[in-house]
C-alpha cells in the first residue's frame, strides 16, 4: 500500500513510520504545521506537538528511516476546528478534549482526505491502538496491547470509513520502553525525547490564563459562586474559566460547614454562576451524550458495556438505557453506570467498549445521579 505517515516529531510516530516501511508499504512522511507561528519549547516543560523543534525532529527521523518528507500547512483548519472549538466550548460552560477534535477533524479528516486524493491508501500514526478485522470485513478499533498507553479513547470518534484508511503500527507494542528501545536500535536521535503532555497550542501549560485572553467578553463577566442550596459563598471573574470537579482556585469567602473541601458541581456561563459542593455531590451514574459516532453497529438498549469519560481514565461498567442511531455524528445515547463516578463534565467524550473493542462515542450533554440531579445541560 501507499502509506502517508504523519510524523509529529516524537518517538511514537517515528517508530510507527519505520514499522510501516518494514511491513513493505511505500511510505511518505509528512509533518503537520498546525500553528501559524509555532511556539518554541518552554524550558522545564514537556512540549506540545507543533513546535519548530518538532518539525526539525520529524525531518531528521524521516532521513534516518529513508522516506521522502514534506510539511503540510493545516494551520487554518486546526485553528478553526480545534483551537476555536476549544474556546467556544469553554465559553458555553463545557469541558472539551482538543486531542479528540484534532483526530476527528484534522488527522483523520483533512489530512486523510488530502492523502486519499493524492493516491495514498492509508494514513499511519503513532497512536497506541489496534485495528482488527471484524465479522463483516470492516476493521474494528480495539485497545492497544499496552493498556497503560492505550489511546483508543481519543480515536473513538472515527466511523468505519475513517478506520478503513488508518494504520496504527504501535498497537502491538508491549510498552513505551519497548518503543524507545526500538527507536534507539534504529538510530533515531529522538529515542529519549520526553512525551508531550501539554495542550499543544498552550505551550506554557497555563490553560486558564490562555483562555482568559481569548474568551468572549460575556464569558469573562464576574458573578457569584453559590453552594448547592443557592447561598452565595464567593465570587468569580468569569464562569467559563471553571470546570466540573475543579477544587483549586475557587477563592471561597465562606467555608463549608463541615470544613471539608468543595468542588465545582456545575457551570452556567449564561447565568454567570458557578455551583460548588462536596465531593459526594459530584457523584453521577446516568450519562447522556449527543453527536454519537459508532465504530460499527450501534449498541442496543440493555446491552452491557464499559464506559470511559477521560483519556487514560478507568473503564466503568454500564448498561445502555437508550440509543437514537442517527446519521454519523447525529445520534444520542444514554447509559447507566453500575457505580457512581465523579468529576464528569458536559463536553467530555463518552467512549463505549465491548471488551477491548471500541463501540463508539458521544459528547456528554448531561450527567446526573439517578435519584438526585447534580449536573445538566
Catalytic residues: 102, 200
Cβ burial 349-377 (10 Å sphere, 16+ → b, else e): bbbbbeebbbbbbbbbbbbbbeeeebbee
The Cβ-side half-sphere exposure at 5, using a 13 Å CA radius, reads 34
Alpha carbon distance 201, 83 (integer Å):
8
Strands laid side by side in the 232-236 sheet: 232-236, 223-227, 273-277, 263-268
Cα separation of 323 and 362, whole Å?
Answer: 11
Q: At a CB cut-off of 8 Å and minimum separation 6, what does 134 contact?
A: 140, 296
- Treating both helix axes as pointing N-terminal to C-terminal, what angle do 11-22 and 176-185 enclose, rounded to 10 degrees? 70
Residue 66, all three cell numbers: 529513508
8: left (phi over 0), alpha (psi -120 to 50) or beta: alpha
Q: Report strand pairing: 273-277 vs 263-268.
A: antiparallel
Separation CA 363–CA 291 (nearest Å): 6
**Number of alpha carbons in the 13 Å side-chain half-sphere of residue 151:** 21
Q: Quick check: helix, strand or coil at residue 168?
A: coil
Name 239's Cβ contacts closer than 8 Å, sequence gap at least 6: 93, 219, 223, 267, 268, 269, 271, 272, 273, 274
Burial bucket for residue 33 (CB in 10 Å: 0-12, 13-18, 19+)? middle
Amino acid at each position: 500500500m501507499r502509506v502517508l505517515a504523519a510524523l509529529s516529531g516524537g518517538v511514537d510516530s517515528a517508530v510507527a513510520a519505520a514499522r510501516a516501511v518494514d511491513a513493505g508499504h511505500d511510505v511518505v512522511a509528512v509533518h503537520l504545521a498546525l500553528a501559524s507561528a509555532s511556539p518554541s519549547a518552554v524550558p522545564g516543560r514537556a512540549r506540545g506537538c507543533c513546535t519548530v523543534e518538532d518539525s526539525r525532529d520529524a525531518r531528521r527521523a524521516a532521513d534516518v528511516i529513508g522516506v521522502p518528507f514534506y510539511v503540510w500547512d493545516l494551520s487554518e483548519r486546526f485553528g478553526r476546528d480545534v483551537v476555536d472549538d476549544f474556546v467556544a466550548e469553554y465559553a458555553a460552560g463545557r469541558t472539551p478534549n482538543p486531542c479528540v477534535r484534532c483526530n476527528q477533524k484534522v488527522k483523520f479528516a483533512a489530512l486523510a482526505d488530502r492523502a486519499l486524493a493524492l493516491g495514498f491508501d492509508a494514513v499511519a500514526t503513532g497512536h497506541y491502538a489496534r485495528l482488527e478485522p471484524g465479522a463483516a470485513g470492516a476493521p474494528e478499533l480495539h485497545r492497544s496491547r499496552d493498556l497503560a498507553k492505550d489511546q483508543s479513547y481519543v480515536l473513538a470518534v472515527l466511523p468505519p470509513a475513517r478506520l478503513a484508511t488508518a494504520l496504527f503500527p504501535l498497537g502491538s507494542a508491549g510498552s513505551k520502553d519497548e518503543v524507545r528501545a526500538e527507536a534507539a536500535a534504529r538510530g533515531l536521535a529522538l529515542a529519549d525525547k520526553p512525551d508531550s503532555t501539554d495542550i499543544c497550542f498552550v505551550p506554557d501549560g497555563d490553560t486558564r490564563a490562555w483562555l482568559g485572553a481569548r474568551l468572549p467578553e460575556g464569558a469573562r463577566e464576574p458573578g457569584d459562586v453559590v453552594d448547592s442550596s443557592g447561598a452565595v459563598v464567593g465570587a468569580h471573574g468569569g464562569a467559563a474559566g471553571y470546570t466540573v470537579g475543579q477544587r483549586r482556585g475557587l477563592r471561597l469567602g465562606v467555608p463549608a460547614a463541615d470544613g471539608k473541601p468543595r468542588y465545582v458541581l456545575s457551570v452556567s456561563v449564561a447565568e454567570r454562576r458557578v455551583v460548588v459542593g462536596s465531593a459526594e455531590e459530584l457523584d453521577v451514574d446516568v450519562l447522556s451524550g449527543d453527536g454519537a459516532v459508532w465504530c460499527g453497529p450501534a449498541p442496543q438498549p440493555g446491552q452491557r458495556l464499559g464506559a470511559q469519560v477521560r483519556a487514560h481514565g478507568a473503564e466503568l461498567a454500564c448498561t445502555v438505557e437508550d440509543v437514537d442511531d442517527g446519521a454519523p455524528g447525529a445520534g444520542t445515547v444514554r447509559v447507566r453506570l453500575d457505580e457512581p463516578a465523579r468529576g464528569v463534565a458536559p463536553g467530555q467524550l463518552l467512549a463505549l467498549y465491548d471488551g477491548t473493542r471500541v463501540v463508539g462515542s458521544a459528547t456528554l450533554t448531561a450527567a446526573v445521579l439517578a435519584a438526585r440531579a447534580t449536573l445538566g445541560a
